[in-house]
Amino acid sequence: MRISRHANTVIVQAPAKLNLFLEIFSRRSDGYHELETLMVAINIYDTLVFTPRSGREVHLSCGWSPGLESRRCAARGAASPWEAIPHGGDNLVLKAIERLREHAGVEMAATINLGKRIPAAAGLGGASSDAAAALAAANAAWNLNWPVERLAEVAAELGSDIPFFLYGGAAVCRGRGEKIEPLGAMPRLDVVVVRPPAGLSTADVYRQCRPADPPRRADEVTQAWQQGRHAWLGRLLHNRLQPAAEQLSPWIARLKQLFQRLDVLGHQMSGSGSSYFALCRNARHARLIAGRLRMLGVGAVYCAASERSRTLGLV
């Protein structure tokens, strides 16, 4: 996440994420799943512009930003992942601001503009990242000056992935995803991400999944990440939600088969899908792989890389 200020307006670049490892230990009595995941923020961004104003109301406007990939899909007439975004009270950004106002005991107002690029129902954390961006922006614009740990408590009430985005960079996340162990800055990791024409519902995928017996742990994959050994990392990729997602969408197995024929360091689905990604040797290699995938018409194809640093500018 990148935060900047222009007069009293706060602008946040809200990144997507990939899960390099995701293990499910058990189903909890509250319906959530106990898990361990290695998440990495990547440089596909939504942009949130937050301007404080007088009064009590918070106004949100949002729409898809015409990024290069959406133009490419439109040019091909391809089915694309740019679905309706909830504008009203269902939008996680508004829920986050409302919850922050409750916790802070303030009734401050704002106008928020959200430019979306991260595809929805993709396992890339777009809505969660937007919510984290809204919390960070309000914290700065309204001069709340809360530390990240306090914002993360509010974030965890709203969604399991939201606290991660307040820290950014890379982290091992546990519990239902809200317990964050941040990892240090790492060498750049180049990836190609495909969001097929159909998305997946997170709740449906979790409902379908079976906890591991015995479970794997994230120690080795974390070591590979921290040492920047990307070929090793590629061999250790793991996502326990993938078999469940394969039962719900034919796209996952289709993409797996396609990626098996490509010369990449490793590949798998991200989060609860439906996005599928590959680790590449460098940016040039990623562009080559992305070019091949675009010719196959498998949906939106992104070249991306891990964010270089953790969240900057959060007071």
In the complex, the residues that contact ligand C5P under the rule CB under 6 A are 32-33, 35, 159-161, 176-177, 202-203, 206
Three-state secondary structure of 263-296? CCCEEEECCCCCCEEEEECCHHHHHHHHHHHHHH
CB of 222 to ligand C5P, least distance (A): 19
Residue spans of alpha helices (H) in the chain: 68-76, 92-104, 126-141, 148-158, 162-167, 202-208, 219-226, 230-236, 242-248, 250-260, 283-296
What is the DSSP secondary structure assignment for residue 257, as one 8-state letter?
H
Cβ at position 24, least distance to ligand C5P in Å: 8
Q: Is 213 a catalytic residue?
A: no
Catalytic entry in 46, 130, 161, 190 = 161
Which candidate in 17, 46, 116, 130 is catalytic? 17
- Which of 310, 44, 40, 277 is CA-nearest to residue 171? 40
Q: Which is nearer to ligand C5P, 9 or 204 (CB)?
A: 204
Nearer to ligand C5P, 203 or 231 (CB): 203
Position 245, amino acid:
A
Is residue 17 annotated as part of the catalytic site, yes or no? yes
Q: Nearer Cβ to ligand C5P, position 163 or 196?
A: 163
Q: Taking the C-alpha atoms of 215, 219, 221 and 222 in order, what is their torsion angle to the nearest 10 degrees?
A: 140
Name the minimum Å distance from CB 30 to ligand C5P: 9
Closer CB to ligand C5P, 202 or 274, in the complex: 202
Coil, helix or strand at residue 34:
strand
Amino acid symbol at 253: A
Smallest distance, ligand C5P to C-beta of residue 171, A: 15
Burial of residue 13 (CB within 10 Å: 0-12, 13-18, 19+) is middle
Establish how many alpha carbons lie within 13 A of residue 55's alpha carbon, considering only the half-sphere containing its beta carbon.
8
Nearest CB to ligand C5P, comparing residues 209 and 236: 209
Q: How far is the CB of 250 from ligand C5P (least distance, A)?
A: 22
Residues 6+ apart with CB under 8 A from 185: 169, 308, 309, 310
Active site residues: 17, 161
